[in-house]
Amino acid sequence: MDTIYGKHVHVLDAANFHAHASRYREVLLDIGAGDGRYTLHTARRRPECHAIGLDACADGLRKSSRTAPPNALYLVANALALPKELANIASHVTINFPWGSLLSALLDTDQALAAGLRAVTRPGATLEIRLNMGALAEIGCPPEAARDQVRRTLWNAGFSEMRTCSLGATELRTFPTTWAKRLAYGRDPRGLLLWANRARKHRHEPLTTRYASIESLRGQQGVYYAPKGAA
């Protein structure tokens, strides 16, 4: 798979990747990482966690990858064809403010994305998806429909439970990604957080949705989310 360090893209083979990744008990995979800020934030605050930022576009990742600590890794790949080297690696996945094909795949119950998410996550892994309400409005997708559609994608990916809550300007301002800040200070500072847990055993029950408060979800994601610090 292709890994980026500053201006340079290298091929990282499975053996070298696993030798490095096996030093960490927890692995965060940030899909659609953009400029890689969230990966950097996590890697700096959690030296014991391997933080992997993945995006289809290499350019955005160049700057962060140059200054990243050894527990951060940046990959250039399409989320709809996740590298097979990542199989069963992630204890935690984030998809923050997706757009383009990544957003469409979440909303269209794309089988390739679901299969990829299922393949890269360990049983018990958590997944956080943050959606930009403005981006949903632009494509004519009401928040309730987005919730239902994402829920179906996650069910196909082996996730058993989903919690959801709204994000306002306060939450967006303190969340350490560039798009969270952009949204927070923009005209329509509204987001939607969907949190799900990869079932240890995928039961054939419908995936439930519970509406939760931001405080309760903050508790769930507390290890990765550091509201006081921006990267």
Judged by the rule CB under 6 A, the positions of this chain that interact with ligand SAM are: 32-34, 55-57, 60, 78-80, 96-102, 177-180
What residues are paired with 198 via a beta bridge? 159
Q: Facing residues of 121 across strands?
A: 90
Nearest residue to ligand SAM, by Cβ distance, number only = 34
Q: What angle do CA 49, 54, 59 make, to 5 degrees?
A: 125
CB-wise, 86 or 199, nearer to ligand SAM? Answer: 86
| Smallest gap from residue 113 Cβ to ligand SAM (A) | 8
- Contact 231/41 with Cβ under 8 angstroms? yes
Query: What DSSP string runs through 41-53?
Result: HHHHH-TTEEEEE
Beta bridge pairs of residue 74: 53
Residue placing its CB nearer to ligand SAM in the complex, 114 or 199: 114
Q: Give least dist CB 200 to ligand SAM, A.
A: 28
Distance CA 220, CA 222 (A): 6
- For residues 103 and 207, which CB has a smaller minimum distance to ligand SAM in the complex? 103
Closer residue to ligand SAM, CB minimum distance, 41 or 163 = 41
